[in-house]
Amino acid sequence: MASNTQTQDVYPLDADSLNSLSQLVSQYNREQLQWSSGYLAGMAAYQGQGQASAHSVPTPATHDVLALWTILYAGETGNSKGIAEQLQQNAREAGLSVQIHDLRDYRPKALSKLQNVLFVIATHGIGEAPDGSEPFFEYWLSEKAPRLNDLRFSVLALGDSSYVDFCEMGKLLDQKLIDLGAKQLVERADCDLDFDIPADAWIGKVVKLARESVQPESLSPVTPIRPISQQLRHSRKNPFNATVLIDQRITSRHSGKNTRHIELDIAESGLSYLPGDSLGVIPVNPPELVDTLLQSQGLSGDESVELNGEITDVRTALSHKKEITVLSKPFLDAVAQANGALKPLLEGRDTLNNLLNTHQVIDITGEYAPDWNAQALVDSLRSLTPRLYSIASSPDFNEGEAHLTVDVVRYEKFGRNHWGSASNFLASGVNEVPVYVESNEHFRLPVDPDTPIVMIGAGTGVAPYRAFVEHRREHGHSGDNWLIFGNRNFSDDFLYQTEWQRYLKEGSLKFLDLAFSRDQEEKIYVQQRIVEQEDRLYAWLDRGAHVYVCGDADYMAEDVNTALLSVLQNKGGLSRERAGEHLAALKAESRYQRDVY
């Protein structure tokens, strides 16, 4: 009792309250601590103005009236979150009170209680909602969604114009909200992978109009805050030049794949990461590909072009600034205007989708030969954007380093050689690579070190699992680790074979199930191993295991999802519908996490 009194003399909280607060914030990262301090200061200000009592101020989870504007975001990578956080910062600097929520953690029906909402919505894969946000879209895009006559909103849609369903989820949500009676504050903005300029413009518009729509007395005082130094904060816009320490092929010379293990020195970068995060790589396009594209247009490469207000030569623009591997719909439209023979292929969904999935820029310029000068060629192409690679190392086991597992993309098709951008850049013998860390908060190891984990992946999808096992081993976690890995051939494509076998022998890896598809006449994939081991998998789920899936989104991930449904039906006695609900519940509990692409 005396200790409590003594504590109250020093702090405005008693010992129990202070201990509870310490436990609550102990898991927060730096950004979360900064946000919380601002939120609590806002609560204190409202209480001081007589607008709330100590018992009436709600918490963020209740979507309180203190947040005049609510920002809701959804995405697979960190792009949506990054834009949402920039919007939040700009809004607060303008004096607005705002809240921000990831749609994965947001109750769908809570939207009906809000009046002012700004959405940052990415589309994943072929017109799909980002993993974990499906319940929100299923509810609000359904017939049972209620009227929203009092809602003001705006949508920033993120997408990839190399897909037919470009920005589909943002478009669907925007139209549905209008149909439900909501009013647009600003018209929807659709952003491609090079989203910086249009996203900044949208943020500027919505913040300006949101501030104008609020009564002056409702605005929070704008308090100048000393900014944290950005000198060492490397990002997508300010990458760090990491030195290449090791670039080693880890498939055999007989393999049809050239998969490489690359180690980068980031010790002096100030960058930090956790297992599950990705490394963004700013690539340079392969010289061979640049030459092929220039030749297809009859250009030498020395022609001058204007790019973002600066004059450079077209070779430099194509090498460092423009996307010349993956097709985009705007590029195809530009070619079709110059050569009408392409137009019929763009009018049908299936033909357009096939074109986007199977061709590169050089195939289109080579076959349809638009009569362009250097400036027209550059103008038709979207900006070169970073590539994300799952980090294949634990930061504590490999201090000051980040490791990558990279399939080098080189192939022949349509009588032409083709190259991938970042993979060939990384494997070109370059000494430095511009990089930044892309956080992936929804692909994380369990907090409880005793929790078992099941890691499912094919090919380079094994990369984050190397980081997982290294990290758990380094920290002495007692939870069992089970890897289900697939690739083409045991002798040629068993990535990190000696490491997995060593971990299995020493017990860091409890089980290792392998699926090498081409070692027998009938192909075998990871989803078949899941079904074969359904007794063990169901028992692990019953023990509270977390399940991870990493790799191809269109085929492998969906087949694995189907296999998991089968296990729940067969071993749990669930109907197909109930099995789906159970998987959705596991997602909501962060026990079923996917990093698919």
Contact 136, 173 (CB under 8 A): no
Q: Are residues 41 and 76 in the same domain?
A: no
Per DSSP, 237 falls in state: S
71 and 200 together in one domain: yes
CATH number of the domain where residue 115 is located: 3.40.50.360
Q: Which of 189, 218, 247 is the last residue of a domain?
A: 218
Residues 37 and 120 both lie in one domain: no
Pair (27, 62) in one structural domain:
no
**Nearest residue to 84 via CA among 71, 66, 69, 95:** 71
- The predicted pLDDT at position 76 comes to 87
| Helix, strand, or coil (residue 228) | coil
The CATH number of whichever domain residue 561 belongs to comes to: 3.40.50.80
Domain boundary among 378, 403, 421: 378
**Residue 408 amino acid letter:** V
Cα separation, 460 vs 159, whole angstroms: 24
Residue 535: the pLDDT is 97
- Assess whether 144 and 180 both reside in one domain: yes
> Do 363 and 479 have their domain in common?
no
507 backbone φψ class: left, alpha, beta (φ>0; ψ -120 to 50): left
Query: Do 532 and 503 contact (CB within 8 A), yes or no?
Result: no
Q: pLDDT at position 584, please?
A: 92
Do residue 32 and residue 82 come from a single domain? Answer: no
The span from the CA of 90 to the CA of 156, in Å, is: 15
Q: Is 230 inside a domain boundary?
A: no
The verdict on residue 203 lying in a domain is yes
Angle at 273 between CA 268 and CA 274, to 5 degrees: 145
**Same-domain check for residues 50 and 74:** no
Identify the pLDDT of residue 13. Answer: 61
Residue-wise pLDDT for 1-58, tens only, equals 444 444 344 345 665 565 556 556 555 554 455 456 555 544 544 444 344 333 333 3
Q: Would 106 be classed as within a structural domain?
A: yes
Among 18, 36, 56, the domain-final residue is 56
C-alpha–C-alpha distance, residues 223 and 204, integer Å = 20
Helices (H), 26-133: 30-48, 79-93
Q: Is position 2 within any domain?
A: yes
Q: Is residue 473 part of a domain?
A: yes
Q: What is the pLDDT along the chain (597 residues), one digit of tens a residue?
A: 444 444 344 345 665 565 556 556 555 554 455 456 555 544 544 444 344 333 333 333 333 333 479 999 999 888 999 999 999 999 999 989 999 999 998 999 999 999 999 999 999 877 899 988 999 999 999 999 999 999 999 999 999 999 899 999 999 999 999 999 999 999 999 999 999 999 999 999 999 999 887 656 555 555 444 444 444 589 998 999 999 999 999 999 999 999 999 999 999 999 999 999 999 999 999 999 999 999 999 999 999 999 989 999 999 999 999 999 999 999 999 999 999 999 999 998 899 999 999 999 999 999 998 989 999 999 999 999 999 999 999 999 999 999 999 999 999 999 999 999 999 999 999 999 999 999 999 999 999 999 999 999 999 999 999 999 999 999 999 999 999 999 999 999 999 999 999 999 999 999 999 999 999 999 999 999 999 999 999 999 999 999 999 998 878 999 999 999 999 999 999 999 999 999 999 998 999 999 988
Would 434 be classed as within a structural domain? no
Residue 369 tokens read as 């030969």
Range of the domain at 540: 453-596
**Is the same domain home to 50 and 78?**
no
Torsions phi, psi of 477, nearest 5? Answer: -65, 140
Judgement on whether residues 69 and 204 belong to the same structural domain of the protein: yes
Long-range contacts of 555-561 (CB under 8 A, 24+ apart): 556/458, 556/461, 556/486, 556/525, 556/526, 556/527, 556/596, 557/594, 557/596, 559/525, 559/526, 559/527, 560/456, 560/526, 560/527, 560/530
Tokens of 297: 């247009």
Give the closest residue to 326 by CA, choosing from 460, 469, 192: 192
338, 343, 349, 350 alpha-carbon torsion, rounded to 10°: -100
Q: CB burial class (10 A; 0-12, 13-18, 19+) of residue 358? A: exposed
- Secondary structure class of 486 (helix, strand, coil): strand
Please give the span between the terminal C-alpha atoms of the chain, in angstroms, as a whole number: 57
Which residue has 């669930």 as its token pair? 574
Residue 66 and residue 39 share a domain: no
CB burial readout 46-59, b (16+ within 10 A) else e: beeeeebeeeebee
pLDDT of residue 56: 34
**Count of domains for the chain:** 4
What is the pLDDT, as a whole number, of residue 126?
Answer: 79
> Angle formed by the axes of helices 556-572 and 534-542, to 10°?
80
Q: What is the CATH number of the domain that holds 312?
A: 1.20.990.10
Q: What is the pTM of this model?
A: 0.83
Query: What pLDDT is recorded for position 212?
Result: 86
Question: Is 139 part of a structural domain of the chain?
Answer: yes
Domain annotation covers residue 395: no
DSSP for 247-306, please give it: EEE-S-TTSS--EEEEEEE-TTS-----TT-EEEE-----HHHHHHHHHHTT--S--EEE
Report the C-alpha gap between 317 and 112 in whole angstroms. 48
Residues 47 and 71 in one domain: no
Output the pLDDT for position 220. Answer: 56
